[in-house]
């Protein structure tokens, strides 16, 4: 993967224009933060693209796990950034208002890493099924996997809507799958496995156990933080009793 050329970036200019048309005051905080982070890393990449892109060979075999964190927030060129961030702008506005900012930020963070893991699993399956080790070398960057996952969530929270995919009206129930195939046919160089990983993670959240696991993790962390706070304030026993009563009360209501 070659690093983009420096110079005028029409895609970036158009993106900034679109954001200004929407108005910063109309963009929720987490969505705006994600846009700003991606734009900043496009202008000031932490490392050259070959050193941040995600592949089985680099992340798994060579244990460069930092690529799981860096790859989603780096883009190959200005138009790659433009299309992803425009999609993020509209999906973020809708979903952040629905999920609230803290949970939306948590979801973005989990999706960003988990999609990379699922992507590598899919590439490994292709290596095994097709007996082609070249899939281990496929190295991808970009936020599109997360966007596919967010599209699944958006369709889940807005059932019955009709989406337009390349000018064709498609039921939102099938829009992700149609868009997955259409993008791959129109732009064969895009990461089919990366986009599919996004859809699968979105389904794990809406139809699988992922949301409950995330809720449990947050609940568990909040308990530990409360205990630490109590230790410093000298109220551990009282707080433990209150928590025990709360748990027992919830258990009683569930019977």
- With 50 as the cut, is the pLDDT of residue 62 above it? yes
Cα four-point dihedral sign 27, 44, 113, 188:
positive
Q: Which of 74, 75, 80, 195 is catalytic?
A: 195
**C-alpha distances out from residue 144 to 49, 193, 229, Å:** 16, 11, 39
How far is Cα 86 from Cα 81, in angstroms, rounded to an integer? 8
Query: What confidence tens digit (pLDDT) does each residue in 93-122 have?
Result: 999 999 999 999 999 999 999 999 999 999
169 phi/psi in degrees, rounded to 5: -75, 125
Q: What is the pLDDT of residue 218?
A: 80
Tell me if residue 163 is catalytic.
Answer: no
**Measured CA angle at 121 (ends 120, 125), to 5 deg:** 115
Q: Which residues pair with 170 in a beta bridge?
A: 163
| Rg, the chain, Cα only | 21
The full set of domains in the chain, from first to last, is 10-208 (1.20.1540.10), 212-254 (no CATH)
What token pair was written down for 121? 């699993």
What's the whole-model pTM score? 0.83
Phi-psi domain of 167 (left: phi exceeds 0; alpha: psi -120 through 50; beta: other): left
Pairwise pLDDT comparison (228 vs 146), residue with the higher score: 146
What token pair was written down for 54? 């995600």
Q: Which of 9, 55, 112, 144 is catalytic?
A: 144
Tell me if residue 172 is catalytic.
Answer: no
Assign 225 a pLDDT band (cuts: 50, 70, 90): low
Whether the CB-CB separation of 84 and 12 falls below 8 Å is answered with no
Which among 52, 49, 50 has a CA at the least distance from the CA of 70? 52
Query: What confidence tens digit (pLDDT) does each residue in 171-219 have?
Result: 888 889 988 998 888 887 788 999 999 999 999 999 999 999 999 988 7
């Amino acid at each position: 993967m070659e690093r983009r050329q420096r110079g005028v970036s029409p895609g970036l200019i158009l993106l900034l224009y679109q954001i200004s048309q929407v108005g910063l005051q109309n963009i929720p905080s987490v969505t705006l933060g994600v846009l700003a982070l991606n734009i900043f890393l496009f202008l000031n990449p932490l490392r050259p693209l070959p050193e941040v892109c995600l592949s089985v060979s680099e992340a798994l075999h060579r244990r460069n796990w930092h690529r799981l964190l860096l790859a989603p927030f780096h883009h190959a060129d200005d138009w790659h950034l433009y299309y992803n961030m425009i999609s993020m702008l509209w999906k973020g506005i809708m979903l952040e208002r629905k999920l609230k900012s803290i949970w939306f930020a948590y979801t973005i963070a989990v999706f960003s890493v988990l999609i990379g893991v699922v992507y590598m699993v899919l590439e490994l399956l292709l290596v095994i099924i097709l007996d082609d080790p070249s899939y281990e070398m496929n190295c991808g960057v970009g936020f599109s996997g997360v966007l596919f996952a967010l599209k699944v969530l958006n369709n889940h929270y807005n059932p019955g809507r009709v989406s337009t995919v390349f000018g064709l009206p498609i039921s939102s129930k099938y829009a992700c799958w149609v868009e997955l195939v259409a993008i791959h046919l129109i732009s064969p160089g895009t990461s089919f496995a990366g986009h599919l990983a996004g859809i699968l993670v979105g389904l794990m959240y809406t139809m699988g156990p992922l949301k409950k696991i995330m809720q449990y993790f947050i609940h568990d962390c909040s308990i530990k933080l409360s205990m630490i706070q109590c230790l410093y304030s000298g109220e551990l026993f009282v707080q433990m009793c209150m928590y025990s009563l709360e748990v027992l009360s919830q258990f009683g209501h569930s019977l």
